[in-house]
Structure 1
Amino acid sequence: MQINRIYEIDSCDDVELDIKRESKLEFKLWYDDEKKPEALVFITPGLGGDADNNYREHLAQTIASDLNVAVVSVNYHCIGNRPQTGSTFYLDEIDKLILDATTQAAGIKLPYGVDKIQNYDQMSEIFHFINQALIKGKKEGKFRLDYFLNLHVSLQPAKNEYQNFGIMQAQDLINVALYLKKNAPFDTMGGGIPVIMIGSSHGGYLSHLAAKIAPWLINGVIDNSSYAKFLWKLVGFGKEIDFIQYSEFSTFDFFQHIKVFCSNKTFWTSNSSSPYFFSPARRMIRNILEPSHLQIQTTYPKPYYVSYHSFYDRRIAPPEDKIELYDIFQKYHFDAKLYMIKEQSQIDGKFIKSLDHGMGMSIKTLIKKELPIMLEKIKNNPKKEYKNKSISYPCEDLLYNFTQKEDKIFLEIKGNK
């Protein structure tokens, strides 16, 4: 019989920004109590549709039923960062500056100063006022009929979280794997049960990042359309530079005459004098495609990798980066295969539905296609116990050290001389 359990555990604090975590880490586990699972399979959602709970539940149930594995789904830090997953809109100080400057330039006088906007209702009231002013102005000939105003709003993720981007999220995946190896309600082969990470887009990126942080723990990664380098648009503070170019997404859904650009709440900043400066070192540790780091990984047990990617994915996950990453994997003798989808003939309408980012891919089909192959490889070449459960990555002026102890992964950051 298939069993579904929900867990809450302590995970990691934000070591980089010295912020203590307020929330527990929640995850779900599916398994058949009449079988002995061959692996812990993490299906890690990205942003948007695949973070939907109903979709995740159905997918996990299907895989746990059809294959002899236990399936894990983790609500990693800041997963609730879209309206459909629990985030709410607000205006921070930069948003208010943008609002003030933009409306003044358009000749729209607000009923009160932007400093008076303290909550969602006031924000909504102001935006409705602006939209009506634009409608009236178009009727009076003050604006072209196709004119619209560009404004920016921030997203407050669920659980009062914020966008750390990558590091805490990957630590969450690793901490769940370590917890289950010790505490799962089934035989974990003395803690030696294989761990396989699967994900699309940001979920695939986190799967690769978890393997970078704990290569001795992760046996394999199955990926669709992840980015090989951190994505500026998703870090949250791009609006400090250009809120139109570096916002996470934009929409006309709320107001017909206002294009609303949206980014997550974050403490990272482009201000080099701030302790929260997103420095080159912070970027470097988040890159999967970091040649010097990949060379360090070669001295550890090598996970298996398989990835699918559209050759035309220019806006979110440049294919050149992915090709270079997998070329380096091959150079260092990783068992890593990249399927670069280039031709219309490869669109079958079932597995691959487009050449856009994500390719409209059926993740269920991806898993059923690639997971049995990876399980067979792991079975034929089991990962031996690796005593050195610590890895260090030099990043410009900082040294990031990840260590597994007491069934958790810990991060320590020191100066790199």
Structure 2
Amino acid sequence: MLINKIYEIDSCDDIELSIKRESKLEFKLCFDDEKKSEALVFITPGLGGDADDNYREHLAQTIASDLNVAVVSVNYHCIGNRPQTGSTFYLDEIDKLILNAATQAAGIKLPYGVDKIQNYDQINEVFNLINQILNERKRKEILNLDFFLHLHMSLQPTKNEYQNFGIMQAQDLINVALYLKKNAPFDTMGGGIPVIMIGSSHGGYLSHLAAKIAPWLIDGVIDNSSYARHRWKLIGFGKEIDFIEYSEFSSFAFPHINLHCSSKTFWTSNSSSPYFFSPARRMIRNILEPSHLQIQSAYPKPYYVSYHSFYDRRIAPPEDKIELYDIFQKYHFDAKLYMIKEQSQIDGKFIKSLDHGMGMSIKTLIKKELPIMLEKIKNNPKKEYKDKSISYPCEDLLYNFTQKKDKIFLEIKGNK
């Protein structure tokens, strides 16, 4: 019989920004208690549609029913940073500056000063007024019909979280794996049960990052369309530089306003701030970091398989992925990249387009690649690795990740 369980555990604080975490880490476990679970399989959602709870639950039940695995779904830090996953809109100080400058340039008088806008009802009132004025000007042919006023709003993620981007999220995945190895309600082979990370886009990125942070723990990664380097647009502070170019996404909720949106974050481009997103902060978040891949290669090597569209230029550049998997090969990882280039490869079931994500059926990806990976792991199981610690030099900082007391800990020191 399929068993579904929900857990809440303590995970990690934000060591980089010295912020104590307020929220518990929630995750779901699905397994068949009449079968022996041969692996812990993490299906890690990205941003948007595949983070939907109903979709994730159905997928987990299908995989746990069809294969001899336990399926884990983690609500990692800041997963609720889209309207469809529970985030809410607000205006921060930069948003208000943008609103003030844009309306003044357009000759639009607001009913009250931007500093008076404190809640969503007031935001909605002001934006509706702006939209009505623009509509009237278009009707009178004062403005071209294709004119849109560019504005920006911020997203407050659920649980009062914020976008740390990558590090805390990957630690969450690792902490859940360590918790289940010790506390799962089924035989975990003395804690030696394999751990396989599967994800699309940001979920695939986090799967690779978890393997970078704890290579002795992660046995395999199955990926669709992840980016190999951190993505400026997804970190949240790109609006400090250019809110149109570096916002996370745009919306036309108000028909005559092009509304750009970004998640709440404490990272900043201000080099004098303790929250400066420095080259070192970027470096640790990159999967494609040759010196780091060389360091990782000295540890037990996870298996990797990835699918990627050759035409995915906007979100996950294929050149980065090709270089990453070339370096994997250089350091003798068992890593296979399928670069999808031809219209003939679109079958309408597994691969549906050449856009980012390729409209791929994750269920089909799992059923295609997971049995192969499980067989490889079974035939070549990882030996117990005693040194559960890895350090990555990043410019002026040294990031050290250590597994102890069934959790992963981060320590950051100066790199002399």
- Give TM-score scaled by structure 2 length: 1.00
**Which residue does 2:375 correspond to in 1?**
376
Residue deviations 1:65-93 (CA, integer Å, cap 9, x gap): 00000000000000000001000000000
Distance 1:120 1:240 in 2: 22
Q: Does 1:220 align with 2:242?
A: no
Counterparts of residues 14-413 of structure 1 (less than 5 Å): 14-252=14-252, 254-413=253-412
Query: Deviation of residue 143 (structure 1)?
Result: 1.4
- Counterpart of 2:281 in 1: which secondary structure? helix
CA RMSD of aligned residues (A): 0.5
Paired with 2:5 and 2:62, the residues of 1 have a C-alpha distance of 15
1:34 positional shift: 1.1
For residues 144 and 376 of structure 2, the distance between their equivalents in structure 1, rounded to whole angstroms, comes to 62
Aligned partner letter, 1:181: K
Q: Which amino acid aligns with 1:365?
A: T
Specify the code of the residue in structure 2 equivalent to 1:294: L
CA distance in 1, matches of 2:188, 2:144: 66
Counterpart CA distance in 2 for 1:306 and 1:147 is 45
Q: How far off its partner does 1:139 sit?
A: 2.6
In structure 2, C-alpha distance between the alignment counterparts of 1:270 and 1:328, rounded to whole Å = 30
Aligned residue identity for 2:26: E
How far apart are 1:36 and its partner, in Å? 1.3
What is the deviation of 1:112? 0.8
The ranges of structure 1 where at least 4 consecutive aligned residues each deviate by more than 3 angstroms after the TM superposition are none
CA distance in 2, matches of 1:112, 1:101: 14
Q: Which amino acid aligns with 2:381?
A: P
CA distance in 2 between counterparts of 1:141 and 1:206 reads 49
Residue 57 of structure 1 aligns to a residue in which SS? helix
Amino acid at match of 2:264: K
1:148 CA drift (Å): 1.1
What is the CA deviation profile of residues 1-35 of structure 1, one whole-angstrom value per residue up to 9, with x for unaligned ones? Answer: 11000000000000000000000000000011111
Query: How far is the alpha carbon of 1:56 from its aligned partner?
Result: 0.2
Quote the offset at 1:121 in angstroms.
0.6
- Unaligned segments of structure 2, at least 5 residues: none
**In the aligned structure 2, how far is the partner of 1:62 from the partner of 1:288?**
30
**For 1:110 and 1:96, how far apart are their aligned partners in 2?**
12
1:137 positional shift:
1.7
Count, aligned residues: 416
Q: Offset of 1:135 from its aligned partner?
A: 1.3
Structure-1 separation of matches of 2:55 and 2:282: 32
Corresponding residue number in structure 2 for 1:6: 6
Task: Report the Cα distance in structure 1 between the residues aligned to 2:367 and 2:141, rounded to whole angstroms.
Answer: 59
Partner SS, residue 102 of structure 1: helix
State the identity as a percent.
89
C-alpha distance in 2 between matches for 1:365 and 1:138: 48
Paired with 1:146 and 1:85, the residues of 2 have a C-alpha distance of: 31
Where 2:14 maps in the other structure, the secondary structure is coil
Per-residue Cα deviation, 1:154-188 (whole angstroms, up to 9, x for no partner): 00000000000000000000000000000000000
| Distance (whole Å) between structure 2 residues aligned to residue 138 and residue 34 of structure 1 | 66
In structure 2, distance between residues paired with 1:227 and 1:86? 25
Q: Provide Cα deviations, 1:339-390, integer angstroms capped at 9, x if missing partner.
A: 0000000000000000000000000000000000000000000000000000
CA distance in structure 1 between the aligned counterparts of 2:333 and 2:8, rounded to whole angstroms: 35
The alpha-carbon deviation at position 145 of structure 1 amounts to 2.0
Matched AA of 2:243: F
Whole-Å separation in 1 of the counterparts to 2:294 and 2:82: 36
What SS does the aligned partner of 1:282 have? helix
